[in-house]
Structure 1
Amino acid sequence: MTALRLGTRRSRLALTQSGTVADALRALGHEVETVEIVTEGDRSTAALDQIGGTGVFASALRTALREKQIDFAVHSLKDLPTAAESGLTIAAVPVREDVRDVLVARDGLTLGELPRGARVGTGSPRREAQLHALGLGLDVVPVRGNVETRLRLVESGAVDAVVLARAGLLRLGLSDAATEVLDPIQILPAAGQGALAVECRADDADLRSLLLALEDADTRACVRAERAVLRELEAGCIAPVGVLAEVVEGFDAAELSIRAFVGARDGSLELRRSLTGDLGDPEGAGIRLARLLIDDGADVVREVRPAPSHRPSESPSTAQTDTPETLQ
């Protein structure tokens, strides 16, 4: 039996995520070989908008796919650009992990217990905007680095707290580090947060059929709706946009409930809108929500930018970021 070559980034979180996919395929009787790929996002310590933003963690994997160095790749779905990628396809979207963000703070503090002026680290404009919009007087400072690096920023006192995706902590067995799980009413997640994308060449029909066994239809519907919001807003990774779609019970059948946030990074302006849509047309529902946001002033809100803020004394170097995106 020829082993399937699975391409992945080499961070601990990426390897853990890819490992769950590899294990699922092995349980189905397939042999899987892991191939580690270094991406531009992993090599650079600069801010995402300075190194190309959306897609910097996926491009090297996609090049390896096209050059047939690997057979398929596993991405954090929120790292994928919203535009379809020629010659490639998302063959499967497995069951999603917890979509929520968490706070990891000194002394076990919650968000409401942090004093005014507390330094909260994040690399995400989405989180920055929503933290400021809460009006708690927090000093939101930019950080880069993998999960462990960000946790060390709190341990060392470089910041008072950081905000991370709960999915990453759960996958790494570090969920106990969280001092509070943040309700989406406070901070909406990135599009696709907690979901994985299993990508292969579009012309590999046999592999596409094999990978389909990993598919979760509800997760795909939700992330398609979320990413359609971003695509219609023309929002990339530097846009402060949060969005969450969930499958809920309607009057006659299951339907999609979608919430979205668009805000100024300094918290001076914010829009929050929601709607329900047809589970069979997730992209249509996402587009309708985006157009509602645009009609209510989303373009104006997104143009507001804060003054540059200072960085914590420790400068993270290993990239593991918070990028919002969509699904072809």
Structure 2
Amino acid sequence: PEGLHLSVICEREDPTDALVLSPRVMASKRADKTGIDALAEGAVVGTSSLRRSCQLLSMRPDLKIEQLRGNLDTRLRRLNEGFFDAIVLASAGLKRLAVEDAAIHALAVSVSLPAIGQGVVGIECRVADETINGLLLPLNHDVTSICVRAERAFLKKLSGGCQVPIAAHACFTTAGTVKLEGLVGSVDGVNIIRGHAEGTVGTEEVIGMSLADELLKAGAKEILDEVYGNG
């Protein structure tokens, strides 16, 4: 909104997705397996995220994806009541609420690429309020802020929102450069277009836009047109 801005980006918590297994699965012979390997053929997985579901289906097209809504407690309760074999949640949310359980399996970024800004807390305030901006400044985490700028530039170029199968995650390499991974996927997971871009600090928004352009040329435009109903 006019007059407001994203004043600071706090240090990122765990950006991964987490697969939480049901008591039924944990009691089965498959409980000694990790992640999606613990799920039997045709298992029911709860998530309302197209980003998560398309990546799961790309690896396991046999899975049945069902809608899951509500706060964290509601989602965990429905899992424990037997509505699902597993659900997918943000690892950061589980950690912030100190939820720990052997049934929680973090999914590597290579398996489930996170949402833009996942695990990050941003603080918005009035642009003209110098006092508040000054007080908030120590909370800003430079590394996270740079990474999030790359991710947001990627999303903006794709004209994406929160209910679109788009994912991106940026990090610093050992060489001090910024590396961004991104993907656009079809809702059924059949077509996943994934790529990466890398550049120096200060060019993070260029990195995000260039990766978006690369994916659009590789077929992401057709996928997004179908999702938006423009095809």
Q: TM-score of the superposition, structure 1-length normalised?
A: 0.64
Q: Decide which of 91, 94, 107 is 1:182's aligned counterpart.
A: 107
Provide structure 1 residue ranges, at least 5 long, that are not aligned to the other structure.
1-84, 306-328
Question: What does 1:105-184 correspond to in 2, within 5 Å?
Answer: 105-106=21-22, 107-108=25-26, 109=31, 110-176=35-101, 178-184=103-109
For the residue of structure 1 that corresponds to 2:136, the secondary structure is helix
Name the structure 1 match of 2:190. Answer: 268
Pair 1:258-2:171 in alignment: no
- Name the CA distance, whole Å, in 1 between partners of 2:73 and 2:123: 25
What's the CA shift string for 1:152-204, capped at 9, x where partnerless?
A: 11100011110000000000000326431101111100000000011111110
Distance 1:283 1:151, change over 3 A: same
The AA in structure 2 aligned to 1:134 is M
The AA in structure 2 aligned to 1:276 is E
- Name the CA distance, whole Å, in 1 between partners of 2:102 and 2:95: 10
- Name the CA distance, whole Å, in 1 between partners of 2:101 and 2:11: 22
- How far apart are 1:90 and its partner, in Å? 1.4
- How far apart are 1:300 and its partner, in Å? 1.2
- How far apart are 1:301 and its partner, in Å? 2.1
Provide structure 2 residue ranges, at least 5 long, that are not aligned to the other structure.
none
Q: TM-score of the superposition, structure 2-length normalised?
A: 0.90
What's the CA shift string for 1:101-129, capped at 9, x where partnerless?
A: 01001233431120111110011110011
Name the structure 1 match of 2:201. Answer: 279
The AA in structure 2 aligned to 1:212 is L
Query: Percent same amino acid at aligned positions?
Result: 39
1:166/1:175 contact within 8 Å kept: no
Q: Decide which of 229, 243, 249 is 2:168's aligned counterpart.
A: 243
Question: What does 1:1-328 correspond to in 2, within 5 Å?
Answer: 85-106=1-22, 107-108=25-26, 109=31, 110-176=35-101, 178-250=103-175, 254-304=176-226
- How far apart are 1:304 and its partner, in Å? 4.2
1:256/1:278 contact within 8 Å kept: yes
For the residue of structure 2 that corresponds to 1:276, the secondary structure is strand
Count of residues paired in the alignment: 218
- Name the CA distance, whole Å, in 2 between partners of 1:200 and 1:303: 34
What's the CA shift string for 1:213-248, capped at 9, x where partnerless?
A: 101000001111011111000111221011000011
Q: What is the RMSD of the two structures over their aligned residues, measured on CA atoms?
A: 1.3
Distance 1:112 1:304, change over 3 A: farther
